[in-house]
Amino acid sequence: MHQKYEFKMIHSFKIHSLIHYKMHLSPTEENYLKAIFKLTEEAEKASATTNAIAAEMSIAAASVTDMLRRLSEKELIHYEKYKGVHLKASGRKIATALVRKHRLWEYFLVEKLKFGWDEVHDIAEELEHVRSDELVNRLDEYLGKPNFDPHGDPIPRADGTIPTRQLTPLSALKVGESGILTGLQNHPDSLMRYLRKINIGIGTKIQVLELHDFDESMSVKINDEKEMELSEKVSKSLLLKIT
């Protein structure tokens, strides 16, 4: 009898640290990993603060602390009290897979279902939590294994690597230079609705005609046709492939 209990105790270490076929995370937990990914890897910061995560997710800081403790127990993040947080390899893997799913679904929504690029974010936010590797792979195949989503953001590949390109913000161009709009620095709804309205999108050719040093705005020519003014804020948000 005593032997039996001892046997049991010796083997009572944490199982999930050995068997990690597939950890089951709630959509909420996945969203935390995504937020941390965005604040660290994508923004190239060493670590994310509790407050930054709270702001990113629009929840109270106390809730974040709570969840960080739990994600830390699951070995998905590296977290020390008061010291900020970053992803461990296992957490990064899950986060990139989520970004991959999100951007593939956005591609599907725009290319196949003909949604506008400013309409797809919230829907993809839900679709990305559907759990099926087979689904993602077949979707990828069906869409022709795209490398960039409708906003020009890179779509992480199945192996976790992320396609890159050399892009230049429109604001860095000199008079006479031109390029093709290929990505955005960031994409708040307001910017995307604005670009849609003035008919600028991924693939649009933009040439700098004139620079106004008073407010850093510029006059540009769109697709060799229309002329227009772009503010500093907009020109800094547009990433071009130089032609």
Partner DNA sequence: AAATATTTTTAGATTAACCTAAAAATAATA
Partner DNA sequence: TATTATTTTTAGGTTAATCTAAAAATATTT
Q: Are 155 and 110 a contacting pair, CB within 8 Å?
A: no
Q: Is 170 in the site for DNA (CB under 7 A)?
A: no
Query: Which amino acid belongs to residue 117?
Result: W
Q: Residue with structure tokens 């649009």?
A: 204
The residue from 6, 66, 80, 126 that contacts a copy of itself (CB under 8 A) is: 126
154 interacts with, out of a copy of itself, DNA, none, CB within 5 to 8 A per kind: none
Q: Is 25 in the site for a copy of itself (CB under 8 A)?
A: no
The residue from 43, 60, 113, 198 that contacts a copy of itself (CB under 8 A) is: 113
Residue 189 carries which DSSP code? H
Question: What does the H/E/C string look like for 95-133?
Answer: HHHHHHHHHHHHHHHHHCCCCCCCCCHHHHHHHCCCCCH
The residue from 54, 59, 139, 222 that contacts a copy of itself (CB under 8 A) is: 139
Residue placing its CB nearer to a copy of itself in the complex, 81 or 145:
145
The residue from 63, 90, 147, 204 that contacts DNA (CB under 7 A) is: 63
Q: Is 109 in the site for a copy of itself (CB under 8 A)?
A: yes
Question: How many of the other CB atoms lie within 10 Å of CB of 35?
Answer: 20
* Residue in 72, 90, 91 with CA at minimum distance from that of residue 81: 72
Please give the size of the binding site for a copy of itself, defined by CB under 8 A: 19
User: Cβ of residue 138: shortest distance to a copy of itself, in angstroms?
Assistant: 4
Region near DNA per CB under 7 A, out of 43-51, 124-132, 134-142, 174-182? 43-51
**Residues of the chain by 3-state class (helix, strand, coil), percent to 5:** 45, 15, 40
Q: Is 180 in the site for DNA (CB under 7 A)?
A: no
User: Cβ of residue 94: shortest distance to a copy of itself, in angstroms?
Assistant: 17
Question: What does the H/E/C string look like for 59-103?
Answer: CCHHHHHHHHHHHHHCCCEEECCCCCEEECHHHHHHHHHHHHHHH
168 interacts with, out of DNA, a copy of itself, none, CB within 5 to 8 A per kind: none
For 205-241, letters b (16+ CB in 10 Å) and e give bbbbeeeeeeeebbebebeeeeeeebeeebbbbbbbe
Q: Is 131 in the site for a copy of itself (CB under 8 A)?
A: yes
User: Residues 141-180 vs a copy of itself: string with x where CB under 8 A?
Assistant: -x--------------------------------------
For binding to a copy of itself (CB under 8 A), which residues are involved? 109, 112-115, 119, 122-123, 126-127, 129-132, 134-135, 138-139, 142
